[in-house]
Structure 1
């Protein structure tokens, strides 16, 4: 037997699941753990502006890297992060939330310490955390090692957040450990061979009998890293394939059988025409939320439609559920067993959104989402805010390997700014493009400081349409509550210290400042993007002034039916 501190074991396990950046905010109950993070040459401290932004950053990081982590202090810190953790739960993102709590003696006495509710209850915040995570624990000397492992394993396997409460006096406490520490158990369970055999035969029979099968790919395949398996299935099948808005980027859009975005009855008419005769729908990793299904509408006219639903822990064939056969193992077997494509290379050019309307010079959504692909670096990360940006990005022509990050299920405005910070940390080789509305930006703009401080170089597009556009479209277009103070957005990088000499000489390597511009028309936008592309190693901030009520097609369709949900 040998010994290890509880804090060191936490750090070791985070690194074993691929984490090299930990987000959060210092607090007097977590700082001994932050010492370990700062002193570890393999780790970076995210140094966020507040805990909510840190939770968003850990979420964005996990979507690129596979798992994220955030450290907050007891009570005030963890509650500030709770909204971001709840979003990660909804959207199936594995984030480990580590909370430094008061000394065990103080907790045992029910001491009336700061950051408590003043009633001696030290379990209330753990109870809240437990309801927002797949697994939670409050560490003791006796259970620390096994509980840390249990929570991290559960979070990783289920793609949900985990919660670890560690009292401050236990962070540096020594506990016994075996000479050889067993690795974390991170593999999904094997499918029962006999039942899987039945499922494969049933799926193949359904495919053989179908005349017009269609595939829809959704976001769960992103979370479980199944893009290669899904694309192999799509390519070999040759079936018309769509992705949802949440699933954007999961399918290689260069495939001739990729036909666009499916969003229920809000799907583009031309796309709906292509799939109107579908008699077998193969759903892969589906998330049937309102924003992902055209407000729970169906775009398929065939009343005798049959369905096959492939999920991570089950397969549903029509109404028969095989609860132990998951797609992680099933998909490759199905792909290899598929018959030769029924309709090889029989597809017409893909239906695209309306081309650019040249009747005006405004930066409209029609113009922006048609034009922006010309300037995007390959294998980039596109982070879009809930609202007009999130809907507009869905129609962007995508290149292979591009990662799309949005939060259209939990839909907490302001998410994108912190998430973009996390994404930029997760893979510095990828260029990050952030599209955020002015209303959302006002909630979380402090993270721009983190971009600069940490030497990150995204391109930030601030969509300024002077108010909460989505809310105006749903209800109250002239109401004062849907408007707010106009800011001088294009000066954001300067306000957050991008030009201060002290930030250039503090021992770090802050971001080099690139373009800071307020763009009011198409020619200004194109000139600005030429400059951006010529300076890939700098951070850029473009304020795009857009017509107040201009909206992407997808958002306009959604808002028409939203008020009466």
Structure 2
């Protein structure tokens, strides 16, 4: 095979990076491109319910495999996906968004085609995507097309951001040299400037040598930019206490003896708050300091000795070092950090937050507090745990993850309904890696209604490694807590949720409804239920205004912030 079509070239490149499921919807400008998916061994087309859900699914897949591909059609398709693409941009998720666009001849003639705005402008949607893309390409030349595709895939993977590729319908069947596939895409990071990095390392080591009460704080970008191993090695070498933020949860092995808990500013457990805020040195890795990630910006460090390691710069106190990327900087620091630790440093015990559900009679109605405390005992090594914006994202902070757990929660972008699609992507990625790896979704009854169609994709691909916990608290509880407790705009039409799996023609499935402590305990003690051999939905009945304590506090802050005049 001396030549391959450009369409096949694209999918072969993705296959080389173990991207084996392509998300999206067909449209007449991408149909020839989609044909090429089936020419690549072990690659499949997910075929989502709509473009928004497809973008969410690609996001979830990428959080497991570091890269995903979304294919939409020009105009109507790509615009439907942009909310999901925006979330991937905000939260540092590597995503290749390939848009099938009209032929070059049609563009040149400015034809009044369907899916256009009727003004002959075929680049307007490309321009819309510019601000939520790491880079873009609107391909027009077959000779440069392979290198443009390689560049875009590289940037999506390395920078962990969405990248936009407009691919004209008439180019996908044109041939390019197959030999180009023999040279792997270079995914290495650009080396840090040696002098700047040396200054960073020496300054950090000096701060470490003087610290009597240092901590490590891990946030989302430590996971997104592949620094979990470096973080673990840093904790092992220094024996400093390590904490995560809500977005950083699962960025650290929570079974590690030096793990101290989740820090959310004023919303933290008192012992965690005291331990973090009394530190005389904070080594922050991969921070994304959004309002819900920080207890509405309520961090209260007692020290100015703060080192921030980021994907593209490092900051020490008030000094910023552009281009000193955290992965290489941490690897360099690890070579000598153990010797830099203050000889008088004593590794005191970390906060020990007990996760034992208070005993209650079996007939006691379920509450959020009981659920989120008890669920830790049911989780197991390797679980992928997906928590929806709302009570679930706040409640999961109270739980403890076993080793090798991956948490998915869209704390910054916070698009309601995101997790149903993300769960699909995560489940399909898990199937590729280990069919026995469980994917566990916690979603509210209100959020579910926004993206419920995507459960059909789970059924189609028989993602029997998936558990869907629907928290039914009769509407938008997080919104009620912020504003409008009795307002009708926070109500939803009640659904018979347990009919959804048969509605979507699931084959092997189980549905359950629980409302008491005893029913939950029985479920979590059932070995058969814990075995991922069928698609399961559990409807958890909860009181309307019941919520995790940290969400109640956050809602009060959010309401005050929204009402502030200055």
Of 452, 458, 462, 1:451 maps to 458
Distance, in Å, in 1 between the alignment partners of 2:238 and 2:48 is 46
SS at match of 2:137: strand
1:86: which partner in 2? Answer: 86
1:346: which partner in 2? Answer: 348
* C-alpha contact (below 8 Å) 1:278/1:305 kept by paired residues: no
1:356: which partner in 2? Answer: 358
Q: 1:255 to 1:175 in 2, by over 3 A?
A: closer
Q: Give the length in aligned residue pairs.
A: 550
Distance, in Å, in 2 between the alignment partners of 1:14 and 1:178 is 16
Distance, in Å, in 2 between the alignment partners of 1:320 and 1:375 is 45
In the TM superposition, residue 526 of structure 1 has moved relative to its aligned partner by 2.8
* C-alpha contact (below 8 Å) 1:357/1:367 kept by paired residues: no
Distance, in Å, in 1 between the alignment partners of 2:276 and 2:225 is 28
1:506: which partner in 2? Answer: none
Distance, in Å, in 2 between the alignment partners of 1:348 and 1:219 is 22
1:473: which partner in 2? Answer: 481
* C-alpha contact (below 8 Å) 1:214/1:240 kept by paired residues: yes
Q: TM-score, normalised by structure 2?
A: 0.93
Q: Which runs of 5+ in 1 are unaligned?
A: 499-510
In the TM superposition, residue 527 of structure 1 has moved relative to its aligned partner by 2.9
Greater CA drift, 202-211 or 532-541: 532-541
In the TM superposition, residue 186 of structure 1 has moved relative to its aligned partner by 1.1
Q: 2:549 aligned with 1:553, yes or no? A: yes
Following superposition of structure 1 onto structure 2, how do residues 369-408 of structure 1 map, counting pairs within 5 Å? 369-408=372-411
2:445: which partner in 1? Answer: 438
SS at match of 2:499: helix
* C-alpha contact (below 8 Å) 1:315/1:325 kept by paired residues: yes
Distance, in Å, in 2 between the alignment partners of 1:274 and 1:21 is 44
Distance, in Å, in 1 between the alignment partners of 2:108 and 2:128 is 20
* C-alpha contact (below 8 Å) 1:375/1:533 kept by paired residues: no
Q: TM-score, normalised by structure 1?
A: 0.94
Distance, in Å, in 2 between the alignment partners of 1:348 and 1:5 is 58
Q: 2:291 aligned with 1:307, yes or no? A: no
Q: Which runs of 5+ in 2 are unaligned?
A: 562-566
- Deviation digits for residues 77-110 of structure 1, max 9, x if unmatched? 1111111001000000011011111222222111
1:109: which partner in 2? Answer: 109
In the TM superposition, residue 531 of structure 1 has moved relative to its aligned partner by 6.2
1:320: which partner in 2? Answer: 319
Greater CA drift, 170-179 or 45-54: 170-179
- Deviation digits for residues 131-174 of structure 1, max 9, x if unmatched? 22111111112431121112111111111001111111111012
1:139: which partner in 2? Answer: 139
- Deviation digits for residues 299-356 of structure 1, max 9, x if unmatched? 33x2x43111111222211111122322211212322312366555530551246743
1:166: which partner in 2? Answer: 167
Distance, in Å, in 2 between the alignment partners of 1:336 and 1:367 is 44
SS at match of 2:519: helix
Of 484, 490, 509, 1:482 maps to 490
* C-alpha contact (below 8 Å) 1:267/1:299 kept by paired residues: no
Q: 1:277 to 1:345 in 2, by over 3 A?
A: closer
1:419: which partner in 2? Answer: 422
* C-alpha contact (below 8 Å) 1:532/1:540 kept by paired residues: no
SS at match of 1:265: helix
2:538: which partner in 1? Answer: 542
